[in-house]
Structure 1
Amino acid sequence: MVLGGFATFALLYGMQPLMPAFSQQFHVSPAAASGVISAATGAMALSLIPASLLANRFGRKTVMSVSLMLSALLTLLSAVAVDFQQLVILRALLGVALAGLPAVAMAYLSEEIDPDVLGRAIGLYIAGNALGGMCGRFAMAILADHFSWRVATLVLGGAGLLSAIEFWRSLPESRNFQPSGVTVKRTMAAARRHFSDAGLPWLFLTGFILMGCFVSLFNYLAYRLAAAPYGYSQSQISVIYSLNAAGIVASPWAGRLADRFGRRNVLWIMALCMLAGLVLTLASPIALIYLGTAVFSFGFFGGHSIASSWLGFRAVRNKALATALYLSIYYLGSSCLGSVTGFMWNWAQWNGVVLLLGVFLLASFAVALKLRKLAPRLAS
C-alpha cells in the first residue's frame, strides 16, 4: 500500500515543477499551466465515487491494480502529446483512471488493519504519498532540466508501470470484504447519511482546504523561484520538492499521536503548522522559504493523515463511500484552489497567494476546533 501511495502521487503531481516550462514552451499563463494538475485532480475527484462502486462489485485489489496500470500507460502517452490542449486532455484521462486506487485504499486498510493501529497504518500509506510526490517532482525537474519534459514523462510512466506490476504481485487479497451489488439509490441514501453526520462534513471540508492549499503553494512557488531575484533553474527549484520529506515523518508520527491522544486533540496543531509555514515563506532569504515550506508540508501530511484515519471511526457503515466522498472533495480542493490561486498570483504575485491561502488555513483551524468538541464515536 505504501508503494501504491507512492505511485499515485508521483503520477499525479510529477508534472507540477514543469509548469514554468509549459508556460514558456506553449505560451500559456501560470493559471492556464496549472491545468496539467487541475485537470487531473478535478477528473479524479469526479471519478472517485464511481470507482468506489466498482470496487464494491469487483473487489478492492482488482480495481486498485487496474487503476495504476492504466494511469502509467496514459502517462507514457502524455510524453508524445503534440500540444498543450492534448496534454491537458491526457492528464484528465489519467485522473479518471487513477481514481481507483485512492478511492479504495483507505477503505481497504480500515477493513484489513486492527483499529488500534489503523492511524499509523494509514499514516504509512500517506507517507508513501509524500515520498512519491517528492521523488516524482524532484526527478521530473532534474530530468527536464538535463533532457526534456518529454523524456522526464517517459521515465515517470515507466516507473509507474513497474510499480503497478509489483503492486498487483504483492498486495494481499481482501479478507474482510465481500463484493456486493450496489445501486444509485442506495449510494445516494448512504451519502445523505454521511452528510447528516455531526463530524463527516467537517472532515470533508478539512480535506478540501488542506489539499487545495498544499497544491497551490507548490504550483506557484516554482514561478517565484524562477523569477528575479532568485532566477533558479529547474534543477535548483527541484530542491524545494525534496522538503516533502517532512511529510514522510509527519504522517506516521501524527498517526501515532492520534492513536494515543485522540484525533480531535491533534488535528488543530497540524492546521497551525501549515499556517506558520505559509507565513515564513513571505521572507526573502531562501533558507526561511525552505524552512517555511518544510513546516507547511509537515502540517499538511500530518493533518491529512489524521483526518483520513478519522473517517474509519466516524463512518459506521459504507466506509468506502465515506472515503470516496472525502477524497472527491479533497481533490476538488486541489483543482479549484490550484486554479483560483493563479489569479491571485497574477494580481499580487506571492503576496496574493499567501493572502488567499492564509484565509483558508484560518478557516481550517476553526473547523479543527469545532471537530475537537465532537463526542467520540467508534465504528462497529
Structure 2
Amino acid sequence: MPEAADPAPPSNATGAARQYLVRGSSGYRKASFALFLSGFSTFALLYCVQPLMPIFSHDFGVSPAASSLSLSLSTGLLAVAIFLAAAVSQRFGRRSLMFVSLLGASVCTVACAIAPGWNAILLIRALEGFLLGGVPAVAMAYLSEEIEPRSLGSAMGLYIAGNAFGGMAGRVFTGILAEYLSWRWALGSIGLMGMAAAAGFLILLPPSRNFVQHKSSARYHVDAWVGHLRNPSLAMLFAIAFLAMGSFVTIYNYAGFRLVAEPYSLNQTELGLIFTVYLFGMAASWAGGHLGDRFGYFLVMPVGIGIALIGVAITLAAPLWVIILGIVLLTSGFFMAHSVASALVGKLAKGNKGHASSLYLLAYYLGSSVAGSAGGHFWVADGWWAVVAFTGTMLLACLLAALLSKHFAQRAG
C-alpha cells in the first residue's frame, strides 16, 4: 500500500495525537531492523572501494588522491542528491524512495565490476552516490517521525550501527575477495549483497503513520533549509558532521597506503581485516544512543569527539598494534558522536525534520568528499604526520562546535 494512503495526523499534530512506534512492539522491531539493513547496505555500497584504492592506483596508473575519487565522487554526488531526496520524499513517501535508491545503487556496484576502464568506474560511482542520496536523510526523517521521542536515541543508534556494520562488511569482504579472486569479483559480490538487503528492507519497514504527503514549491524547501540554518545550535551540529566525517574518512582513506608500504607490507586480506574494528563503532553507536537518552546528548557528544581525537594522535606511533588501537578509538569515538548528533538534529529541528536531516547529511558527506580527497595532498606532501595534523585540527574544531551547540541550545531554552 502506498504511503500516501496511510492514515496520518496533520504535520503539526501534537505528540499525543501521533501514532508512534513504541519500543518493544513488533512494529518498532521491524522498523529498527529495516533501517539497520538500509544503513548496512548504504555504507557497504559506498565504502567498498576504500580498501581497493591502492589497487586502483596501481592498476590504472593514478595517484593516491586520484584513486580516492572512486569514493569522493560518490559522497559528493550523494551530498547534492540529499537535497533532492528531502523534497521528493515529501511528495512520494519515505519507504518507496529508500527502496529504489538502495536497489539502484546495488545495480551500479555490479556495473562497476564489469566497467572497462577508470573513467567508466568514476562515472558509475558518481551515479551510485547520487542514487544513494535517497536513503540517509529520509531514513533519519522516518525515525524522527515514527519512533516515540524517548526511544529515538536508541533507534538512531541502531541505525548508525547498521552504517558501521555495512562499512566494515564492505571493506573487509572486498579486501579478502580482491586478494583471492579480483577486485571485480569483490565489487560484484557487494552489489548482490546490497540487492538482498534492499529486498529485506522493503519487506520489513512499516508504512509511515505520521507522514503527510504533499506537493510543495521550491520556495517552501528553501525557506525550510534557511530556517534550520538560522538555528545556531543546529548549524553547529552541521559543522560537526562535516568535520567529524572528514577526519574519519581521511584516516581510513590513507591508512591503507601507509600500511601496504614498508615496514608493514600488509596484503589486501590483512588490510581488509583491520576494518573489523568497525565492530567497535557498532557498539559505540548503540551505546552512544543509550547514554544520550539517559545522561544527555550534549554530554556524550564531546566525549565521543575527544576519544576520536586521542585515537588519531596515537596513530603517529610506529608499532602496528598501536596504530590499530588508534583506529579503534577513532572509530568508536566517531560513531558515538555521530549517533548522538543525528538524534539531536531530530530533537532540535522545529518541523520539517527531513530538511534538517538533509542539511546534516549534506555536511556529513561533503566532509567525506572534500576532506577525503584533500587528505591525499597532505599524504603526498609530508606523509602520515601531515595527515594527522590535518585531521587533528578538524577534530579540535569539531569539539569547539559541540560546546557551542550546547551553549546555543541552552540559551534558546
1:193: how far off?
0.7
Aligned partners of 1:121, 1:377: CA distance in 2, in Å?
Answer: 28
Counterpart of 2:241 (choices 202, 207, 213) is 207
Aligned partners of 1:305, 1:367: CA distance in 2, in Å?
Answer: 16
Counterpart of 1:370 (choices 401, 404, 408) is 404
Aligned partners of 2:199, 2:401: CA distance in 1, in Å?
Answer: 40
Counterpart of 1:186 (choices 196, 216, 220) is 220
Deviations 1:91-113 (A, max 9, x none): 00000111111120010001110
Instruction: Indicate if the aligned counterparts of 1:46 and 1:328 stay in contact, CA closer than 8 A.
Output: yes
Partner residue of 1:246?
Answer: 280
Aligned partners of 2:103, 2:233: CA distance in 1, in Å?
Answer: 35
1:267: how far off?
1.0
* TM-score normalised by L of structure 2: 0.90
Instruction: Indicate if the aligned counterparts of 2:233 and 2:409 stay in contact, CA closer than 8 A.
Output: no
Counterpart of 2:68 (choices 18, 27, 34) is 34
Aligned partners of 1:351, 1:182: CA distance in 2, in Å?
Answer: 49
Aligned partners of 1:367, 1:149: CA distance in 2, in Å?
Answer: 39
Amino acid across the alignment from 1:269:
V
Partner residue of 2:12?
Answer: none
Q: Secondary structure, in 3 states, of the residue corresponding to 2:45? A: helix
Alignment RMSD, CA only? Answer: 1.2
1:372: how far off?
2.6
Partner residue of 2:326?
Answer: 292
Q: Secondary structure, in 3 states, of the residue corresponding to 1:266? A: helix
1:219 equivalent in alignment to 2:253: yes
Q: Secondary structure, in 3 states, of the residue corresponding to 2:115? A: coil
Deviations 1:221-243 (A, max 9, x none): 00000000001100011122111
Partner residue of 1:279?
Answer: 313
1:374: how far off?
3.2
Aligned partners of 2:270, 2:144: CA distance in 1, in Å?
Answer: 40
1:335: how far off?
0.2
Q: How does 1:1-380 map to 2 (within 5 A)?
A: 1-376=35-410
1:360: how far off?
0.6
Amino acid across the alignment from 1:302:
M
Deviations 1:120-143 (A, max 9, x none): 100000000000000110000000
1:375: how far off?
3.6
Partner residue of 2:14?
Answer: none
Aligned partners of 1:24, 1:195: CA distance in 2, in Å?
Answer: 43
Aligned partners of 1:251, 1:350: CA distance in 2, in Å?
Answer: 27
Instruction: Indicate if the aligned counterparts of 1:202 and 1:371 stay in contact, CA closer than 8 A.
Output: yes
1:169: how far off?
1.4
Amino acid across the alignment from 2:120:
Q
Partner residue of 2:16?
Answer: none
Instruction: Indicate if the aligned counterparts of 1:314 and 1:378 stay in contact, CA closer than 8 A.
Output: no
1:377: how far off?
9.5
Aligned partners of 1:77, 1:377: CA distance in 2, in Å?
Answer: 51
Aligned partners of 2:328, 2:63: CA distance in 1, in Å?
Answer: 27
Instruction: Indicate if the aligned counterparts of 1:76 and 1:158 stay in contact, CA closer than 8 A.
Output: yes
Instruction: Indicate if the aligned counterparts of 1:277 and 1:292 stay in contact, CA closer than 8 A.
Output: yes
Deviations 1:192-233 (A, max 9, x none): 111111211110000001111111111000000000000110
1:261: how far off?
1.5
Number of aligned positions between the proteins: 379
Amino acid across the alignment from 1:115:
P
Instruction: Indicate if the aligned counterparts of 1:72 and 1:157 stay in contact, CA closer than 8 A.
Output: yes
Deviations 1:330-366 (A, max 9, x none): 1000000001000000001111100100111111111
Aligned partners of 1:225, 1:338: CA distance in 2, in Å?
Answer: 18
Aligned partners of 2:51, 2:157: CA distance in 1, in Å?
Answer: 25
Q: List, as ranges, runs of 4+ consecutive aligned residues in structure 1 with deviation greater than 6 Å.
A: none
Aligned partners of 1:247, 1:343: CA distance in 2, in Å?
Answer: 27
Deviations 1:49-71 (A, max 9, x none): 10111110000001001110101
Amino acid across the alignment from 1:43:
L
Instruction: Indicate if the aligned counterparts of 2:234 and 2:405 stay in contact, CA closer than 8 A.
Output: no
